[in-house]
Structure 1
Amino acid sequence: MKINRMLKACFAFLMVLVAGCAKATDTASSAANISGINHVAGQTVNSFTVNGYGGTLTGNSCCIMLPDEWKPGLKTRIEWEVDPNSNVILPPLGTDEFRKAYALHKSKYQHHSTTVDIPKYDQACGLTVHFLPCNQVKVTTSCYGYGAPEYPVKEPLNMKEPASCPVN
């Protein structure tokens, strides 16, 4: 008799847990890779994050969670560090001159952040961040690769920074 009551109590407890889990999956999400493409000549994107998750310009990084179903108002936060003069020539590595020159060079790194809309998607195949002149970014979840006719971002690589950028 006591065992039967205990089993019923355990079963009721498990049902409450399962009901809580079912509610959490109403907005299902999937892990997606993060990648980036730098479109600006003479400038290096040293690092970037998407909603705090690190991305890379040399392939894919894992992961960001994207809703399986896109909804209006879906946004993401991009933060990045730029070396505006990646072609600088430094003294020989390991010397005092190098350390001083590198410290001066690094002090000119720029930090940027913005929040952008994630465009509508039927299927998210990862999130790609495009770094454009004037510290602008575009994001896409396209399943096509950059350069494919169906790919939504058409800006070319090696773009030059304009003499002046528009004020937002």
Structure 2
Amino acid sequence: MKISKIFLYYIMTTAICVAMTSACSEATSPTSLRGYNHMKDLSIHIFSVNGVSGPNIRPESGGGETCCVTLPKAWRPGLKANVSWEYDQKENASHPLPANKTMEIEIPHYRSAGSLQVHFYNGHKVRMIVSPCSPEHPFYPLSAAELAPWQPFTTKEDMRETARHGGGTVDC
């Protein structure tokens, strides 16, 4: 009788611990990792987000993707990621190659876990966007200045009309 009470106590304690751990764990989703280089003279030789390597990116290019970064399905305040990158340039460049960088970057609000898109700018500036849309989408969440050299492929009004007819989304 004593053994069965101890066994029952052990089972109940284990069940409570499992339930508490499950309730506290965060639902996550694997997502692709894309990179965009907005600089004219420097390439991104290699970059990573939380240890997951992204594609190499030539000047003013991007869009290649790798798999997979894990993100929470639901955004939460204070969500950040560690981004590391190395620059590259032509051998005959007139300026020295900048040092490798690592930064903790805040991930802005997202409604659903789309691709994690990392934008590299002059002056070691980096922005991250989580979106199912590409930078050419008119509702992509960057200003025209932050988006350059990319431009929307259509107007917001035309995209709304297309979405009304089931041919696209305005939810970027």
Q: Residues 1-168 of structure 1 correspond to what in structure 2 (within 5 A)?
A: 15=15, 18-19=18-19, 22-23=22-23, 25=25, 27-57=26-56, 59-83=64-88, 85-86=89-90, 88=91, 108=97, 110-153=99-142, 154=144, 155-157=147-149
Letter in 1 for 2:19: A
8 A contact 1:32–1:63 mirrored in 2 = yes
Q: Find the residue that maps to 2:22 and give its secondary structure.
A: helix
| Corresponding residue of 1:164 | none
8 A contact 1:47–1:82 mirrored in 2 = yes
Instruction: Give the length in aligned residue pairs.
Output: 138
CA distance in 1 between counterparts of 2:38 and 2:140 reads: 15
Could you say what the CA RMSD is over the residues aligned between the two structures, in angstroms? 2.8
TM-aligned CA deviation for residue 110 of structure 1 = 2.7
Q: Find the residue that maps to 1:127 and give its secondary structure.
A: strand
Letter in 2 for 1:32: T
Runs of 5+ consecutive residues of structure 2 not aligned to the other structure = 57-62, 151-172
8 A contact 1:40–1:157 mirrored in 2 = no
Structure with higher Rg: it is 1
- Output one character per residue of 1:59-86: Cα deviation in whole Å (capped at 9) or x when no partner: 2111111111111111111110001x33
Give aligned-pair identity as a percent.
29
Letter in 2 for 1:157: P
Letter in 2 for 1:67: P
Displacement over 2 Å in runs of 4+? 8-25, 107-110
Q: Find the residue that maps to 2:100 and give its secondary structure.
A: strand
Letter in 2 for 1:39: H
